[in-house]
A and B are shown apart, each in its own frame.
Chain A
């Protein structure tokens, strides 16, 4: 592995077949890399018309194939709906008895809508302007880990477009494990607000298990109360194009957020993750760990993933402790992973900050070592990929979901004859 400063070229790393493996270790942004727009300069609005229609050159959109958005960025009208179902439990054991959890369907005039954050791009604003009703799920007491809530979001169907809005509210000192299970077909833009009250604790896993045709563009607004904890894991497997933009906003000191991600792109898929962690309060913690695997079969369209991780530690955010990491594993040649970590620090009084980004091919030495012990190649590959994703999957606190994710990864690997 060669060491190279990832940000020095002014835009992170792009690793395509044949490019050297990058292994970058914690380094602070250099002056030449693009600046993260600070909050007050970052344009936000609920009104879609306040944003220009993106053309593809904009920093926010430069990686996204706009033509494949089916007009989400350019005023596509809804002709379908996302079905939102909330249940208690996960999988076979789920029930409709929500035990004190409140589910409401409200309009955008509801005073709570917007507590999580404001759209910062045109598609998020479009979804905000066009959703029929918002679903607000409120938890006001600690729920046990064994009783996850499942929110099933089903796409509108092939050829249809829908906008949707979901808010998860955790009142003071409450706790919940929530699975957001996205499935089905169609084109969807969404806002998700995670409003976590003081001392509350939310573990949320967002699974994107879309059908092959699906296009999903979602903005996740994480609003973190005093001493609140959020563990957000996003898992992106299916869909033609999936673009997720989680933004973390600390409302008060002591917030603790871990953002984990797992994505697995096959030929033709575009999976994009754009994160902003905005440290605006003192003594907050953030950890970002995203891992991606890519495999494009020969002759097929390339698999493409994008990861942009912006961490901004502002002047007033003394005592911040932050680290972000992105690793990509290229399983085949026909794949392209863009990885752009940005860390901007405006105060010297921090507890720690760093970032790392590495994209590499499958390690032949590892494969050789396992095979030299008699393990057949396909199994050796599975062991290594499972190992690569292991730390992210281990943090999913719902055993049945963990099993499903492991099975999904196995299935992905089998699809290409591994």
Chain B
């Protein structure tokens, strides 16, 4: 049983007019075997949260903690976080020209597992994971994400999830840009991994349709750099029906109050 704890997290980015605070005190705890959905308006800081957990150099943590089983994640380098069991499926996966997908996957698996997987097992493992995600085998020889369609990139993020077997996975809009069939395939990929592991999932999304496939235990409304409200799956239905207005106006009022 593992725990990912985010406590009072404040994060800034550097802008032309100086530092700008994006996360303003995020509190969130995810346990193994739990799935938490995070929903919130564009620009509210969801990806910032995801990147900050992964350690993207663009974001500076000014206050707060991220703990993985009590260990301070913020002190770890990006690669150490991954090896400690954190995984981020990115909203915009990066193209790496000249590095083949198969070479990349093998390098990553070797790093995360601490030893090179046995060739024969590995080939089988990759092949079956690709088949499950309905990815054509020819992708293995293509450069990482280069020229992949939006949906193909997302499938490959989930492919990496299933091969790297993290303790916690942050899925940043993995459902965006997927057609109906792809959504089903990708959701099944996540669910299969959930079923065979104790993974805790932080699922960032704009749409309840993915929540019909991947059932959340908790739903958090993310507004203006923090969690505005948390609830059960029914909260997602409410958001679908009424939008974020109730939360955004509340957040705005709070802002306006004199300190």
Chain A residues engaging chain B, CB cutoff 8 angstroms: 364-366, 368-377, 379-380, 383-384, 386-391
Residue in contact with A390 in the complex, picked from B78, B93, B98, CB distance below 8 Å:
B98
- When distances are taken between beta carbons in the complex, the residues of chain B under 8 Å from A376 are 79, 111
**Most B C-beta atoms less than 10 A away, residue of A366, A373, A374, A380:** A374
- When distances are taken between beta carbons in the complex, the residues of chain A under 8 Å from B104 are 370, 373, 383
Which one of B82-90, B124-132, B222-230 contacts A?
Answer: B82-90
Could you tell me if A369 and B164 are in contact, using CB atoms closer than 8 angstroms?
no
- When distances are taken between beta carbons in the complex, the residues of chain B under 8 Å from A390 are 98
Could you tell me if A387 and B79 are in contact, using CB atoms closer than 8 angstroms?
no
Residue in contact with B143 in the complex, picked from A370, A372, A387, A389, CB distance below 8 Å:
A387
Could you tell me if B160 and A373 are in contact, using CB atoms closer than 8 angstroms?
yes
Q: A364-B57, A383-B107, A387-B143 are in contact. Are A372 and B97 (CB under 8 A)?
A: no
Give B170-210 as 1s and 0s: 1 = Cβ < 8 Å from A's Cβ atoms.
00000000000000000000000000000000000000000
13 contacts across the A-B interface (CB closer than 8 A)? A366-B94, A366-B96, A368-B56, A368-B57, A368-B94, A369-B144, A370-B96, A372-B82, A373-B112, A374-B108, A374-B111, A377-B77, A388-B98
Could you tell me if A379 and B98 are in contact, using CB atoms closer than 8 angstroms?
no
Chain A binding surface, main DSSP class: helix
A387 CA / B101 CA spacing, docked (Å): 11
A174 CA / B38 CA spacing, docked (Å): 67
Could you tell me if A369 and B98 are in contact, using CB atoms closer than 8 angstroms?
no
- When distances are taken between beta carbons in the complex, the residues of chain A under 8 Å from B55 are 372
CB B168 to nearest CB in A, in angstroms, measures 13
Could you tell me if B94 and A373 are in contact, using CB atoms closer than 8 angstroms?
no
Known contacts A369-B93, A372-B88, then 19 further A-B pairs from the complex at CB < 8 Å, ordered by chain A residue: A365-B94, A369-B94, A370-B96, A370-B99, A370-B107, A372-B54, A372-B81, A373-B104, A373-B111, A373-B164, A374-B83, A374-B164, A377-B77, A383-B99, A383-B107, A384-B96, A386-B98, A387-B97, A391-B98
A272 CA / B191 CA spacing, docked (Å): 55
CB nearest neighbor in A for B85: A374
Residue in contact with B79 in the complex, picked from A365, A371, A386, A389, CB distance below 8 Å:
A371
CB A305 to nearest CB in B, in angstroms, measures 19
Residue in contact with B99 in the complex, picked from A368, A377, A384, CB distance below 8 Å:
A384
CB nearest neighbor in B for A376: B79
Could you tell me if A379 and B143 are in contact, using CB atoms closer than 8 angstroms?
no
Q: A373-B112, A376-B111 are in contact. Are A387 and B96 (CB under 8 A)?
A: yes
A15 CA / B168 CA spacing, docked (Å): 42
CB nearest neighbor in B for A369: B94
Task: Say if the beta carbon of B103 comes within 8 Å of chain A.
Answer: yes
A384 CA / B83 CA spacing, docked (Å): 20
Could you tell me if A374 and B82 are in contact, using CB atoms closer than 8 angstroms?
yes
Could you tell me if B96 and A369 are in contact, using CB atoms closer than 8 angstroms?
yes
- When distances are taken between beta carbons in the complex, the residues of chain B under 8 Å from A391 are 98
**Most B C-beta atoms less than 10 A away, residue of A376, A384, A386:** A376
Could you tell me if B96 and A368 are in contact, using CB atoms closer than 8 angstroms?
no
A377 CA / B83 CA spacing, docked (Å): 13
CB A360 to nearest CB in B, in angstroms, measures 12
Could you tell me if B97 and A371 are in contact, using CB atoms closer than 8 angstroms?
no
Q: A377-B77, A383-B103, A383-B104 are in contact. Are A371 and B82 (CB under 8 A)?
A: yes
